[in-house]
Structure formats: structure tokens, C-alpha cells
Amino acid sequence: MRNKRTELTINHLERNDGVPFDASWFENSQINRSAIERRTSSLGGRRTVKKEYQAAWLLKAISCIDLTTLAGDDTRGNVIRLCAKAQSPVRHDLLEAMDMTDEPIQVGAVCVYHNLISFAKEALEGSNIPIAAVSTGFPAGKISLEDKITEIKKSVAAGATEIDIVISRDLVIESKWQELYDEVALCRKACGEAHMKTILATGEISTLTKVAKASMVSMMAGSDFIKTSTGKESVNATLPVSLVMIRMIRDYYERTGLKVGYKPAGGIQKAKQALDWLILMKEELGNDWLNPELFRFGASSLLGDIERQLEHFVTGAYSAGYRHPMA
């Protein structure tokens, strides 16, 4: 059903082109943190997947990973390796044991800095794995809007089909919602055909209510995805923040009929965490959001833990990291 993913994106999923700014869609939003935390902390006890269900869900998690490297010492070499891992993230014998060899298990995208796009493009030639580039003065976003637009355009020109932008946090802190809308809308325009993921940097937004408002404004301005964090803030993706953001996605969908994707990023390192997020998505938004068109993990080390869990499922013995090819 999800084999030809890129086609699906183009043919079946109506892209969010945004709607005119309307403060009434969010100005009365109220988020109750305690209730949000109660929901996320009890969800793990209410829903779980075991055995073959867990294996299938973990494979799904892999397909939703934006396999990421965003380090100062990134080179062509490690980006090439990352792209190889992206195309065959799971050992073939494990896929065989699970009878999954005819499902092209690969990650959702590869995510790099702008000046590494070309190497990724080279390495992913012939695959349908999208290249995502972080942009707009990532991670702090403290460059002029003009420079942000230029940076996006350069990345798209270099071959990125997904652009992860960061918003100006000061606009959220100062509740300048119209300005935020204008900025994100301009970025979206600059993206053109490339899909835009809007990073709110929720670790730097002090209240969940503001997270909700920033989410709605970002969607109104045409974001294809909204994303928690850069991975560089001290607090990254958390389940409570995710719950708030995806409930706003639901609200936006109910108002417009448009499905916006969600990407938690930063700090998601364990297979168990990945399952928690998938369960959250399924419970709050439904199965449509359980595929890479509408859901991504921004993660670098998550894949390794999932591989170990899959081997445990296949062999019954706990696995070791060295048994799986590194990125």
C-alpha cells in the first residue's frame, strides 16, 4: 500500500498551501499541561504492541526516520555512509526472517546541512529517498529574512526536496503572530515544490499554549510538516509537546480538510520511544499519520536500537550493536 511512496505523495495527498491568517483559529486555544501530561504518561499503559506486531511497527518506524547528521565535522565521507544506510537500514537476513524482503524498507529521508546536499544527492542517485536540508540559519535562525529566503532557494537548487526551516522564536515569545505567519509563508513560497518542515524549537517556548498557537500559525502559513526541535535545544521532542502539536494538526485538518505532517526530533534514541510516538499518532490522528508522508522521526541513533530489537525478535537473543552495519 505504501510501496510507491513518492507517487502517493504527489497523487493522493493534497499539499497544504496554507490559508489566510486568521487569529480566531488559535487565540482562544488553551492547553492544560497537567492534563496533557496525564494523557501522555498513561498512554504507554493503555496501548502496547508485542511480538510480530512490535516488529512490524518498528519497521514502520524505520520508514519514518529522517536519518540525520548535523554535526560540525560532517564530511562527504560520513554523508555517503549515511546515505548507504538509509537505503538498506536493516540487515537482509533479518528482513528475510520476517518475510519482508519484497517490501523496500528504507528510511523516510536523509537530513543534512546545505553544503552536504550535493554529496547526498550523489549517494542517493537512483533511490527515491528525499534529501532534507536544514535551513534559514539553523539552528538559531538569527539571520535576516532575506538571507533565509536565499538559503532556502540555494538548497532547493542544490537538490533538496525537503526543507527544514527554523522559525524566529522571538516572534513567538513576543506573540507577533502575524509576523510569524508572514515569515513562514515567505519561506514556503521560497521552497516551491520542496516540502517544508517548520521547526518551532519548542524547548525555547515557555508554555504549551504558545506551542499550540505557533503550530497553528505555521500550518496556516503553509507548512507541510510541523517539527518540534532542531536537536540543538536543551529540551527536544517530548510526548507532551507532541500531543499539543498533533492536536493542533487535527484541529487544522478539521477546519480545512488538509493533512499536515508531524516530525518530533531530538532525543529519540530508543525503539520503545519510537513505539510511544507511533501509538500517540495512531490514537490522536489515526492510521493516516503512520507513514512517512505525514510522520517523521528526526533521529540519528534511533535506527541502531531498532535494529537490535528486530534481531532480538528474530533470534530470541538480545542483540549487540556491532552486529549491525553502521552508518
Partner 1 sequence: MTIKEIYKTMSYGPAPESAAQANAFLDAHNRQFDLFINGEWQKPSSAAYFDTFNPSNKKALAKIAEANAQDVNAAVEAAQKALPDWVALGGHQRARYLYALARQVQKHSRLFAVLETMDNGKPIRETRDIDIPLVARHFYHHAGWAQLMATELRDYKEVGVIGQIIPWNFPLLMLAWKIAPALAMGNTVVLKPAEYTPLTALLFAEMCRNVGLPKGVVNIVTGDGKTGAALTQHEGVQKIAFTGSTEVGKIIRKTIAGSGKKLSLELGGKSPFIVFEDADLDSVVEGIVDAIWFNQGQVCCAGSRLLAQESIAEKLYSKIKTRMESLIVGNPLDKCIDMGAIVDKVQLKTIDELVKQGITEGNTIWQPSWACPTEGYFYPPTLFTDVSPASKIAHEEIFGPVLVAMSFRSHKEAVALANNTRYGLAASLWTENINLALDMAPQLKAGTVWINSTNLFDAASGFGGYRESGFGREGGKEGLYEYVKPKIEDSLMDTPIFPPIIDQPTAHNQQLVAIDRTTKMYIGGKQARPDNGYSNRIHNRVGKTIGEVSDGSRKDIRNAVEAAHASAWAGMTGHARAQVLYYIAENLAIRKAEFANRLVQMLNHTEGAACSEVEQAIERIYTYAAFADKYDGAAHSTVQRHVTLAMPEAIGVLGIVCPEESPLLGFVSTVMPALAMGNHVVVVPSESFPFSATDFYQILDTSDVPAGAVNIVTGKKEDLAFELAKHYNVDGLWYFGTKEGSQKVEALATDSMKRTWVNYGKCRDWSDDKQGSGELFLRQATQIKNIWIPYGA
Does the footprint of partner 1 cover residue 55 (CB under 8 A)? Answer: yes
Subset of 163-222 contacting partner 1 (CB under 8 A): 206-209
Nearest approach, Cβ of residue 59 and partner 1 (Å): 6
Q: Is the dihedral of CA 95, 101, 103, 109 positive or negative?
A: positive
Task: Give catalytic status of residue 272 as yes or no.
Answer: no
Task: Give catalytic status of residue 227 as yes or no.
Answer: yes
Residue 234 or 287: which CB sits closer to partner 1? 287
Residue 52 or 122: which CB sits closer to partner 1? 52
256: Cβ–Cβ under 8 A, 6 or more apart, which residues?
16, 19
Residue among 64, 83, 98, 294 that touches partner 1 (CB under 8 A): 98
Does the footprint of partner 1 cover residue 88 (CB under 8 A)? Answer: no
138: Cβ–Cβ under 8 A, 6 or more apart, which residues?
70, 113, 164, 165, 166, 199, 230
Please pick, among 164, 224, 276, 305, the residue that the annotation labels catalytic: 164
Report whether 100 contacts 89 (CB < 8 A): no
Alpha-carbon 137 to chain mean position: 18
Q: How many helices (H) and strands (E) does the chain have?
A: 13, 8
Binding flags for partner 1, 13-52, as an x/- string (CB under 8 A): ---------------x-xxxxxxxxxx--x--xxxxxxxx
Characterize the bridge pairing of strands 195-199 and 162-166.
parallel
Subset of 252-311 contacting partner 1 (CB under 8 A): 278, 282-283, 287, 290
82: Cβ–Cβ under 8 A, 6 or more apart, which residues?
67, 69, 110, 112, 120, 327
Please give the positions annotated as active site: 164, 227, 263
List contacts with partner 1 (CB under 8 A).
1-2, 28, 30-39, 42, 45-53, 55-57, 59-60, 98-100, 103, 206-209, 247, 250, 278, 282-283, 287, 290
